[in-house]
Amino acid sequence: MQPLPASSGDLIADRRADYAEMLFANGEHAAAAELMLGALELAPGWAMGWFRLGEFQEAAGALSEAERAWRMALQLEPDDRPGAALKLQLIGAAPVAAAPPSAFVETLFDQYADSFDEALVKSLGYRAPHLLEAAIRAAAPDRRFRRAIDLGCGTGLMGERLRPLVDRLEGHDISAAMLARARARNLYDRVEKSDLQTLALEPSAADLVTAADVFMYVGALERVFATVAKGLAKDGLFAFTVERHDGPEDFVLRETRRYAHSENYVRRVLGADGLEIVSLSTDTIRMDRAEPVTGLIVVCM
């Protein structure tokens, strides 16, 4: 996918936008918004500029103005690579959708592919692959899996944990840049560009399916769980994590633009697909803004 244009294409507009970013970084949110609006008068077709204007206005407490800016970004960029629809949902200007825009998820991970491992492991204390590996080993001691499918494989952090356990390892991800990094690791026998919203798996073909910190970019889990259930061999395992949500809702969209899921919802959807939980535990899966993120670590069959 083509990257989002960082430039408006107008030199003066870009200079104003750069200064607006400086003001925003210094906490001068209203002034930043005013200057960005001036930049957009010179470059009214710059979708990313409208998206950033909305973020400046949101920080300044001007939510009605932010809504207008994000709707303009959506009008100019219907695929919604910036994720304006999610911002509208978060301020209550649109109902929470069952899934994020696929173009947003793809763009997000394409942008972060080069720095992903260092940021996630070193800065955020990413633990999901370690926790899933331990849960899989506990559920199936000494078992070797004939064919494993790693959903949302990213750069291969989960693949490193799986490779010693499997004969054939396949990775799926929506981001071509992530897949390139995964391919360079020489962990996977096959990688494929896939959108989890439209994923298809061969029936009863996988002994193990994993998804480490993937479903926070999915939302509603019914479709992907049904797909996995059909793709699992008779004694196959499905191991995954979700961010835990403790409220009454099935899932919620958080300020991070990631979804969190309730345990009751996870159990209900798995049960509807005939999947039996082997183990379910709670642990910190990573840090975010210096706060621990609690997740559910689930193995089912």
**Every domain of the chain and the residues it spans:** 11-95, 116-300
**Within a 10 A sphere around the Cβ of 111, how many other Cβ atoms?**
15
Tokens of residue 69, six digits: 């800016």
**Could you read off the pLDDT tens digit of each residue along the chain, which spans 301 residues?**
666 777 899 999 999 999 999 999 999 999 999 999 999 999 999 999 999 999 999 999 999 999 999 999 999 999 999 999 999 999 999 999 999 999 999 999 998 888 877 777 767 888 999 999 999 999 999 999 999 999 999 999 999 999 999 999 999 999 999 999 999 999 999 999 999 999 999 999 999 999 999 999 999 999 999 999 999 999 999 999 999 999 999 999 999 999 999 999 999 999 999 999 999 999 999 988 889 999 999 999 9
Say how far apart CA 214 and CA 100 lie, in whole Å. Answer: 12
Say how far apart CA 77 and CA 21 lie, in whole Å. Answer: 21
Say how far apart CA 232 and CA 300 lie, in whole Å. Answer: 11
Judge contact between 300 and 221, C-beta under 8 A.
no
β-bridge mates for residue 294, sequence order: 284
Say how far apart CA 298 and CA 281 lie, in whole Å. Answer: 7
Question: With respect to CATH, is domain 11-95 assigned 1.25.40.10?
Answer: yes
CATH number assigned to the domain covering 116-300: 3.40.50.150
Query: Is the pTM of the predicted complex or chain greater than 0.85?
Result: yes
